[in-house]
Amino acid sequence: MTADELRTKYIQFFEQHDHVQISGASLIPENDPTVLFTTAGMHPLVPYLLGQEHPAGQRLVNYQKCIRTGDIDDVGDSSHLTFFEMLGNWSLGDYFKEEAIRMSYEFLTAAELLGVDPDKLSITVFEGDEEVAPDHESARVWQSLGIPRERIYYLPRTDNWWGPAGATGPCGPDTEMFIDTGIPGTPESRPGISDGKYMEVWNDVFMQYNKKADGSYEKLGRTCVDTGMGIERTIAILQGKNSVYETEVFTPIIAKMEQLSRHRYGDGEEHDRSIRIISDHARTATFILGDEKGVKPSNVQQGYILRRLIRRAVRHGRKLGLAGPFLGNLAEVVLGIYRKPYPMLADKYDVIMNELLAEEERFLTTLQKGEHEFAKKLPELLQQKDRTIPGEVAFRLYDTYGFPVEITEELAREHGLEVDREGFDKAYEEHQQRSKMDHSAAFKGGLADHSELTTRLHSATHLLHQALRDVLGEHVEQKGSNITPERLRFDFTHPEKLSPEQITRVEQIVNDQIKRDLPVTIQAMRLGEARKNGAIALFGDRYDEVVKVYSMGAYSREVCGGPHVSRTSEIGEFKITKEQSSSQGVRRIRAVVK
């Protein structure tokens, strides 16, 4: 079964079970300032799992592009990825454990679906502890479906519990599904132990508790189900492959690498590792640049991760003998693989190709100089007893040659050395203070919480957005926001600094609309209908997607996920505290309400 077939079968199966397909969200989170990228299929749905009503209903299904950056250094083995896809289905206060598990079992085992042999299925459930009882209910459902008790494993919180999105909130046990690969195990083998015998393919999370501020748990009146199935891992298991890199989402990229480098995949582990790193990073970079809220390479936040991926790929390309730019060739292949599920990537073709080429060319010069300087220092470094590269040396490579510390660390590992990262960080911080550079978070979008103050400020951004368009012109478009109970930060497209008169006028318009005590209303409608009705809709993927449209009287109409005040007078007095540049062609406003 191919990835395309798996996506189609999954969506169709759950649509037949009364789920509504919703489009996947951007890789850049809109309502979570705690992470750089969307890390799971449930990530964009957190507000609805927390109790908001979803305009598409209580039963949802989709596929979601995700990125996790914590394992970048591990990419290169046979399993780690930075970009991956998740399939998910959700119940928002509708069905719960029994129906969720029965649908999971049917999709896994039905001959016309995945066709997994039930005898190869093993299951894990939450074993319980002093705070929450064991999940016997899930175990009983699995047994009723024919899974014998000896293949149902009760495991602790570290394995089978999903905590709340923050310090408090909805949480609960999960049940995870594993397939026996047939690889000989050990006496200690069981699901959850990574020795190759059992591979997890799916989990069903049951949000049935609320964690309170005092650390105790109470049962929720409205329970939800959140599930997740990784496409790459699942097709590798179904195809009997030993690695995700042997499946059709990677083999065309690897084939292009073989053609470009004249190194055959499988001829040697060192070259194979470089090919896997390049294949993963090229795929991830293509999706970041091709995202509807795509960022460009930079030295902060998502842009820094993108730059790091591109530059690591370029370095491994040099190890394979590639002297010039090559990532555009791989991006072409990636676009071909994902033409069907992500047709919007083609709309960003020029951006993807131009940014990859520019970043490659920038880094090739840096890399050549940095590698030359590293090679000069290597004999001296190898003679040191602790085999550690001082932090000051690593920082000098960064500061003088633009050589990323992660590349220095990778070079060090290849020669049996390590970098004094603490020393590097200290030197970097001292440099920041001396140059008074602000490398604080430049996060695009997000609500710190759903408190009253944050809600007031969030509502104020809608009025601010429209006021900016009124004063500056309709070219103004939101490029991100970050909202805490203390202030709002709003980024928008505009080529030049605002004059004091313009700032005063924008502030006045917002306060006028607040004083008018406009009603804030919400309508659920198709995205296409919302746009026809004049709603600002910046990041929609699908024309027929059902969205929420928030209107503030007749003044502001915008697609949004909430939360909002009920009338504009609840916002309070609006005051712009700062207007500055955010990046080229993008301005930033900071404001407060009283």
**Taking 70 as the threshold, does the pLDDT of residue 186 lie above it?**
yes
| Chain segment 229-238, per-residue pLDDT in tens | 999 999 999 9
* Residue 439 pLDDT class (50, 70, 90 cuts): very low
Answer whether residue 441 is part of any domain: no
Q: The domain containing residue 201 runs over which residues?
A: 3-241
Q: With the C-alpha atoms ordered 281, 42, 88, 212, is the resulting torsion angle positive or negative?
A: positive
Least confident of 58-72, 204-218, 526-540: 526-540
Here the tokens at position 143 are 């047994």
Q: What is the pLDDT of residue 473?
A: 92
By CB atoms closer than 10 A (0-12, 13-18, 19+), residue 9 is middle
Say if residues 490 and 461 touch (Cβ distance below 8 Å): yes
Please indicate, yes or no, if residue 512 is contained in any of the structural domains: yes
User: Is 174 found in the same domain as 29?
Assistant: yes
Local confidence band at 537 (pLDDT 50, 70, 90 cut-offs): confident
Per-residue pLDDT at 383: 81
Identity of residue 461: T
| Residue 250: predicted pLDDT | 97
Query: What value does the mean pLDDT of the chain take?
Result: 87
For residue 443, is it within any domain? no
Residue 444, pLDDT > 50, answer: no
- DSSP string for residues in 302-329: HHHHHHHHHHHHHHHHHHTT--S--HHH
Instruction: Indicate whether 567 and 546 sit together in one domain.
Output: yes
Indicate the helix (H) or strand (E) that contains 231: helix 231-238
**Per-residue pLDDT reduced to its tens digit, 235-256:** 999 998 989 999 999 999 999 9
Q: What is the mean pLDDT of residues 35-57?
A: 82
Judged against a pLDDT cut of 70, whether residue 166 lies above it is answered with no
pLDDT category, 1, cuts 50, 70, 90? very high
Query: What pLDDT score does 545 carry?
Result: 64
Asked whether residue 160 falls in the same domain as residue 18, the answer is yes
Q: Which range has the top average pLDDT, 342-356, 475-489, 560-574?
A: 342-356
Instruction: Kindly indicate the confidence band of residue 543, based on its pLDDT and cuts at 50, 70 and 90.
Output: very low
Q: Are strands 121-126 and 152-155 parallel, antiparallel or unpaired?
A: parallel
Please indicate, yes or no, whether residues 12 and 45 belong to a single structural domain of this protein.
yes
**Total number of domains constituting the chain:** 3
Tell me: cis bond preceding 563? Omega within 30 of 0 counts. Answer: yes
Predicted pLDDT of residue 89: 95
143 located within any domain: yes
Share above pLDDT 70 across residues of the chain, in percent, rounded to a whole number: 94
pLDDT of residue 348: 93
Q: Which helix (H) or strand (E) holds 224?
A: strand 217-230
User: Tokens standing for 163?
Assistant: 């905590």
The 3-state secondary structure of 542-564 reads CCCCEEEEEEECCCEEEECCCCC
Among residues 241, 275, 295, the one where a domain terminates is: 241
**How does DSSP assign 174-212, residue by residue?**
EEEEEEE------TT--TTS-SSSEEEEEEEEEEEEEE-
Residue 379 lies in a domain: yes
Domain boundary among 407, 435, 463: 435
Q: What is the pLDDT of residue 527?
A: 80
Q: Is residue 500 part of a domain?
A: yes
What is the band of 47 on the pLDDT scale with cuts at 50, 70, 90? confident
pLDDT digits (tens, 9 = 90+) for 120-162: 999 999 999 988 899 999 999 999 999 999 999 999 998 999 8
Is the distance from CB of 68 to CB of 187 less than 8 angstroms?
no
Contact yes or no for 397/413 (Cβ under 8 A) = no
Point out the least confidently predicted range of 8-12, 51-55, 62-66, 543-547. Answer: 543-547
CB-count burial class (<10 Å; 0-12, 13-18, 19+) for 181 = middle
Q: What is the CATH number of the domain that holds 230?
A: 3.30.930.10
**Separation CA 565–CA 547 (nearest Å):** 18
Tally of helices (H runs) and strands (E runs) in the chain: 17, 18
Residue 171, domain member (yes or no): yes
- Residue 447 token pair: 């609500």
State residue 440's pLDDT score.
36
Q: Do residues 471 and 556 both lie within one domain?
A: yes
Q: Is the pTM higher than 0.75?
A: no
Radius of gyration of the chain measured on its C-alpha atoms: 26
Confidence of residue 455 (pLDDT cuts 50, 70, 90): confident
Whether 182 shows a pLDDT value over 90: the answer reads: no
259, β-bridge pairs: none
User: Per residue in 84-107, pLDDT tens?
Assistant: 999 999 999 999 999 999 999 999
The domain boundary residue, chosen from 217, 241, 265 = 241
Rounded mean pLDDT of 516-528? 86
Same domain, 307 and 231: no
